[in-house]
Amino acid sequence: MTVKPVSPKIPLNPDMVDVSAMLFHDEDSLENCDVSGGSVEEQRAARLSFRLAAFNRVVFREVSFEQIDLTDVRFVGCNLANADVERAVIHRVEFIECNLMGINFGSATLRNVMFRNCNLDFSSFRVGDLEKVVFEDCRMQRSDMQQARVIQSEFRQCGLREFQMHGTPARGLDFSTCDIDGIGIRIEELAGATVSPEQAVYLARKIGLIIKN
């Protein structure tokens, strides 16, 4: 089964916005806009709302936007490294060629989300709720997706070295095109997952099976 997230509905005639001059407060909203360049530095706000927006090459440095609502948003070439978006609600959103190293999506709800060519090393989706989420050509080394709900989602050609999934059933997930060396998951949680023959040998050895030719 190929997962196809619903694409964001980006407006055809958006307002041009300079976020560098903006100071966000709790429950602020940003809608119907195109943001190119600029940076948001060391800001904290809760329950923000970004809707019908496109962000291009924007830097979000040391931001904490807990419970942010992202709906119909596209991020291209943006830097959100170490951003805190815990408990976010993210719907019809694309992250394309973004630096998301260390980002905290813990306890977030993601629906119809695409991550393509992103750096997600050390990111956290712990206790998240992911449905129709695709990770394509992403680095996810030492990322944390423990105790999450992950359904109708895909990993395509991703680097999942030391990826942590304890407490997350992998039924329906396909890891066959990914690097899963050092993956942290209980063997019973792999039931129903798809792996390549080489990965099957690796996982068998990981649980102590002796493979005899």
Q: How many CB atoms lie within 10 A of CB 210?
A: 6
- pTM, whole model, 2 decimals? 0.95
Q: How many CB atoms lie within 10 A of CB 166?
A: 12
Answer whether residue 97 shows pLDDT above 90.
yes
Domains and CATH numbers, the chain: 15-206 (2.160.20.80)
Q: Which of 72, 38, 67, 40 is nearest to 53 (CA)?
A: 72
CA 157 – CA 20 distance, rounded (Å): 35
Q: pLDDT tens across 179-203, in order?
A: 999 999 988 899 999 999 999 888 8
For residues 90-111, give the mean pLDDT.
98
Q: Which of 125, 115, 121, 124 is nearest to 142 (CA)?
A: 121
CA 199 – CA 63 distance, rounded (Å): 38
Rounded to the nearest integer, the mean pLDDT of the chain is 95
Residue 125: pLDDT band (50, 70, 90) is very high
Answer whether residue 152 shows pLDDT above 80.
yes
Query: Residue 150: what pLDDT?
Result: 97
For residues 102-131, give the mean pLDDT.
98
For residues 67-85, give the mean pLDDT.
98
Q: What are the angstrom distances between the C-alpha of 1 and each of 35, 104, 194, 204, 205? A: 35, 29, 11, 25, 28
Query: Residue 113: what pLDDT?
Result: 98
Q: Which spans in 41-191 are helix H?
A: none
Query: Residue 126: what pLDDT?
Result: 98
Residue 21: pLDDT band (50, 70, 90) is confident
Query: Residue 145: what pLDDT?
Result: 98
Strand intervals (E) in 17-108: 29-36, 39-41, 49-56, 59-61, 69-76, 89-96
User: Within its chain, how far is the Cα of 176 from the centroid?
Assistant: 19
Q: pLDDT tens across 36-54, in order?
A: 999 999 999 999 999 999 9
Answer whether residue 207 shows pLDDT above 90.
no
Cβ pair 39, 23 in contact under 8 A: no
